[in-house]
Amino acid sequence: MPGYELWSDAERKEVMEVLETGVLMRYGFDGPRQGRWKSKELEAAICSTFGCQYAQLTSSGTTALTTAMAVLGIGAGDEVIMPSFTFVASFEAVLSVGAVPVLVDVDDTLTLAPDAVRSAITSKTKCVMPVHMCGSMADMDALQAICKEHNLVLLEDACQSIGGSYKGKSLGTIGDAGTFSFDFVKTITCGEGGVVMTNREDVYTNADAYTDHGHDHKGVDRGADLHPHLGYNFRISELHAAVGLAQVRRLPDFLATQKKNHAQLKALLSQIPGIRFRRVPDEAGDSCSFISWFLPTEEATRAVVAAMKEAGAMAGSFYWFDNNWHYIRKWDHLKNASTHNRMSAEQQEALLKLQQQDFSASDAIMSRCISTSISLLWSEEQIKEKGEKMVQAATAALAQTAA
CB 7 within 8 A of CB 379: no
Task: Output the pLDDT for position 366.
Answer: 98
DSSP-based three-state secondary structure for 328:
helix
- Type and span of the H or E element at 262: helix 251-269
Tell me if 196 sits within 8 A of 177, measured CB to CB. Answer: yes
Q: Looking at the predicted structure, is the pLDDT value of residue 347 above 90?
A: yes
> What is the arithmetic mean of pLDDT over 6-24?
97
Catalytic residue among 126, 186, 335, 386: 186
Q: Assign 56 to helix, strand or coil.
A: strand
**Mean per-residue pLDDT, 359-383:** 98
Mean pLDDT score, 231-256: 98
Mean pLDDT within 227-234: 97
**Around Cβ 104, how many Cβ atoms within 10 Å?**
23
CA distance 202 to 206: 6
Percent of the chain whose pLDDT exceeds 70: 100
Q: At 170, is the pLDDT very low, low, confident or very high (cuts 50, 70, 90)?
A: very high
188 pLDDT band, cuts 50/70/90, is very high
Report the mean per-residue pLDDT for the chain.
97
3: confidence class by pLDDT, cuts 50, 70, 90? confident
Check whether 175 has a pLDDT greater than 80: yes
Please report the pLDDT score of residue 158 as a whole number: 98
Q: Which tens digits make up the pLDDT trace of 316-329?
A: 999 999 999 999 99
Instruction: Walk me through the domains of the chain, giving residue ranges and CATH numbers.
Output: 3-251 (3.40.640.10), 254-402 (3.90.1150.10)
| Residue 335 known to be catalytic | no
- 283-310 tens-digit pLDDT: 999 999 999 999 999 999 999 999 999 9
Q: In what order do the strands lie in the sheet with 317-318?
A: 276-277, 290-294, 369-373, 317-318
Which residues partner with 373 through β-bridges? 290
The string of pLDDT tens digits covering residues 91-129 is 999 999 999 999 999 999 999 999 999 999 999 999 999
Residue 31, phi then psi, degrees to nearest 5: -70, -55
Q: What is the pLDDT of residue 220?
A: 85
In this prediction, what percent of the chain has a pLDDT beyond 90? 98
Task: Flag whether the pTM goes above 0.75.
Answer: yes
Q: What is the residue-wise DSSP string for 333-350? A: HHHTT--SSPPPHHHHHH
pLDDT at res. 1 = 66
Whether 139 and 281 have beta carbons less than 8 Å apart is answered as yes
The answer to whether the CB of 179 falls within 8 A of the CB of 162 is no
343-367 as b/e: b if 16+ CB within 10 A: eeebbeebbeebeeeebebbbebbb
Chain-centroid distance of CA 374 in Å reads 16
Nearest-angstrom CA–CA distance, 6 and 261: 15
Which of 364, 370, 373, 358 has the alpha carbon at shortest distance from 320? Answer: 370
Pairwise pLDDT comparison (279 vs 403), residue with the higher score: 279
